Structures are given as C-alpha cells and as structure tokens.
Structure 1
Amino acid sequence: MRLLLNILWFVFGGWISGTAWILAGVLLAITIVGLPWTPAAFRMAGFSYWPFGRIVIDRDDGAASCLLNVLWLLLAGWWLALHHLVLAFGLAITIIGIPFAWQHVKLAGLALTPVGKAVVEV
C-alpha cells in the first residue's frame, strides 16, 4: 500500500515539492553561508518525494539547531510552508485527496523547522 501511495504522491505533485526542497538547498549551498542548511533541505527533499511509510523524528534540539531553524524560517521556510499549504488546500477539496493533503500539512510544519530532524522508516 505504501508503494502505491508513494507512486501516486510522486506522480500527482510530490515531484514538485521535492524539487522545491532541492532548489532551496541548492540556492543556500551556492551562498556558502547557507551550507549548514543544505543537508537538512536535501533530507527533507527525499522525504517530500516519498513520504508514505516514513516519519520525521527530532534528532537534535540544541541551541545551534534552534538558531539555524530561525534563520531557515526567514530565508526559505516560509515559502516552502506556503507551497505545501496551497497544495494541501487544493487536495483537501476532494475526498480522495485528503491523505495527500494531510501529508502536505505535515510537510508545511516541517518546512518551518527542518534542521535537527531525521527521516526514519516506519
């Protein structure tokens, strides 16, 4: 079931979300100053491409993660969260799109604070 949901997710918009995360990571990596955020962005891109059957857990709640998350929110997090919320709204209108909308809502929350998170298989 997870494979089917992930394939449907990817075909019907997951590739757009994952590509947005990769774009954010690449743009931050280009600036050299944004290199600390690049691994988190790429980790979340993989999760955004294939979210079903995986969960995100807190890996590190230190002061450095908190500071990096605040800066991330200002630089890239707000527009990624907005992207996921817009897609969630569009999917939630249909009954069949509700599971996918829920994944976008989770990704929107994750877009605000991705540093210090790890993606694990369920």
Structure 2
Amino acid sequence: MRLILNVIWLVFGGLWLALGYVLAAVICFLLIVTIPFGFASLRIASYALWPFGRTIVDRPGAGSGALIGNVIWLLLCGIWLAIGHLVSAVAMAATIVGIPLALANLKLIPVSLVPLGKEIVPVHRPAPWAPPSATRN
C-alpha cells in the first residue's frame, strides 16, 4: 500500500514540492553562509518525493545552534514551503482518494518550518541513536 501511495504522491504533487525544496537548497548554496540549510533542504526534498513509510524524529543534541538556524530558515524559506504544503493539501483533500496525500502534506509542514535538529527515518526502524529497548525483534 505504501508503494501505491508513494507513486500516486509522486505524480500528483510530490515532484513539484521536492523541486521547491531543491530550489531552496540551490538558493542556500549560492548564499554560502546558508549551506547547512541547503543540506537540510535536500534531505527534506528526498522525503517530499517518497514520504510514506518514513517519519521525522528529533535528533538528540540539537542545541542553540539548531534553534538559531531554524529561526533563520523560517524567515528565508520555511514559511513559503509550508504555504506550498498547505495549498497542496487543500487541493488534494478535495477528493476522497487524495485525503491520504493531503495528510502527508500536513505531515511535512512541521519539518518544512523547522528542519534543523530533525532526522528522517524509516517507520519500521528507530533512529540510530535509540536505545536497544526501542528496537523491534
């Protein structure tokens, strides 16, 4: 089911949203000072291409640098990308088939607003820094 949803997502909006993230990454790379934001944007672009079966978790140890970076990101790119997700979610929710796609768009809004200090991991696998008790056997 995830494969089918990912293919539908890719055709009906994921490609355009990922291109928005790639554009934001290119702008960040050109400004040189914002290169870390460019890498974060590329990470989210891959997530925007294939969101079903992956989730976002907090990265431990993200401190004040991530907080300051997230504020700068929010002002430069985050708000525009979040608006893109919201508009796309509203359009996709117009049909019954598009409701799961709209929910995926809404799931992308928090990471598009504050991407630093986040990690994108598969749903079936915990984050690499998770304690051994969190893994499934």
1:43-54 aligned within 5 A: 43-54=43-54
Quick one: distance in 2 between partners of 1:88 and 1:41? 20
Aligned to 2:38: 38
- The structure carrying a bigger helix percent of its residues is 1
Deviation at 1:74, TM superposition (A): 0.2
1:68 partner amino acid = G
Quick one: distance in 1 between partners of 2:26 and 2:71? 19
- 8 Å Cα contact 1:40-1:117 kept in structure 2: no
Quick one: distance in 2 between partners of 1:58 and 1:28? 23
CA deviation profile, 1:63-115 (whole Å, cap 9, x unmatched): 10010000000000000000000000111121111100011111122211011
Given the two structures, how large is their TM-score scaled by the length of structure 2? 0.86
**Based on CA coordinates, which of the two structures has the bigger radius of gyration?**
2
Aligned to 1:101: 102
Aligned to 1:58: 58
Aligned residues, how many?
122
Given the two structures, how large is their TM-score scaled by the length of structure 1? 0.96
Quick one: distance in 1 between partners of 2:11 and 2:93? 17
Q: Which runs of 5+ in 2 are unaligned?
A: 124-137
Of all paired residues, the percent bearing the same amino acid is: 46
Secondary structure at 1:101's aligned position in 2?
helix
Deviation at 1:10, TM superposition (A): 0.3
Quick one: distance in 2 between partners of 1:54 and 1:13? 17
Secondary structure at 1:52's aligned position in 2?
coil
Quick one: distance in 2 between partners of 1:108 and 1:87? 11
Q: Once superposed, what is the RMSD of the aligned Cα atoms?
A: 0.9
Q: Which runs of 5+ in 1 are unaligned?
A: none
Segments ≥4 residues shifted beyond 4 Å: none
Aligned to 1:19: 19
- 8 Å Cα contact 1:26-1:38 kept in structure 2: yes
Deviation at 1:12, TM superposition (A): 1.0
Aligned to 1:82: 83
Deviation at 1:38, TM superposition (A): 1.3
Aligned to 1:112: 113
- 8 Å Cα contact 1:54-1:120 kept in structure 2: yes
